[in-house]
Amino acid sequence: MQTDMKLGRDVFRAMGSSVVLITPGDVEPIVRDRALHAVEEEFAEQEQRFSRFRADSELSIANRAETRPTRVSGPFAALVGRALRAAAATDGLFDPTVLPAMIAAGYDRTFEDVIVTAREVLRPPTPTGRWREIVLDLDLLRLPDGVGLDLGGIAKGWTADRAARLAAEIVPWGLVDAGGDIRTFGDLPRGGIPIGVEHPFDAQVEVLRLSLTHGALATSSIVRRSWGPNLHHLIDPRTGLPAATDVVQASIWADTCAEAEVNAKVALLRGVPALGDLAATLVLEDGSVVTSMPLAA
Residue type, 82: R
Per DSSP bridges, beta strands 7-14 and 226-228 are unpaired
Global pTM reads 0.87
Neighbouring CB atoms inside 10 A of 51's CB total 21
Contact 3, 179 (CB under 8 A): no
Q: What is the pLDDT along the chain (297 residues), one digit of tens a residue?
A: 555 568 899 999 999 899 999 999 999 999 999 999 999 999 999 999 999 889 999 999 999 998 899 999 999 999 999 999 999 999 999 999 888 776 766 554 443 444 344 444 444 455 567 899 999 999 999 999 888 899 989 999 999 999 999 999 999 999 999 999 999 999 999 889 989 898 888 888 888 888 899 999 999 888 765 545 455 578 888 887 787 888 999 999 999 999 999 999 999 999 999 999 999 999 998 999 999 986 433
Task: Report the interhelical angle of 74-89 vs 257-270 (nearest 10°).
Answer: 30
Q: Which residues pair with 178 in a beta bridge?
A: 19, 181
pLDDT value for 77:
97
pLDDT value for 146:
86
Q: Identify the three-state secondary structure at position 236.
A: strand
pLDDT value for 12:
97
pLDDT value for 84:
96
Classify residue 262 by burial, with Cβ atoms within 10 Å: 0-12, 13-18, 19+.
buried
pLDDT value for 141:
96
Task: List Cα–Cα distances, 279 to 10, 273, 286, 290, in angstroms.
Answer: 28, 12, 21, 11
How many residues does the structure list for the chain?
297
Scored b (16 or more CB within 10 A) or e, 201-217 reads eeeeebbbbbebeebbb
Classify residue 147 by burial, with Cβ atoms within 10 Å: 0-12, 13-18, 19+.
buried
Non-local CB neighbours of 164 within 8 Å, separated by 6+ positions: 174, 175, 176, 183, 184, 185, 257
pLDDT value for 238:
82
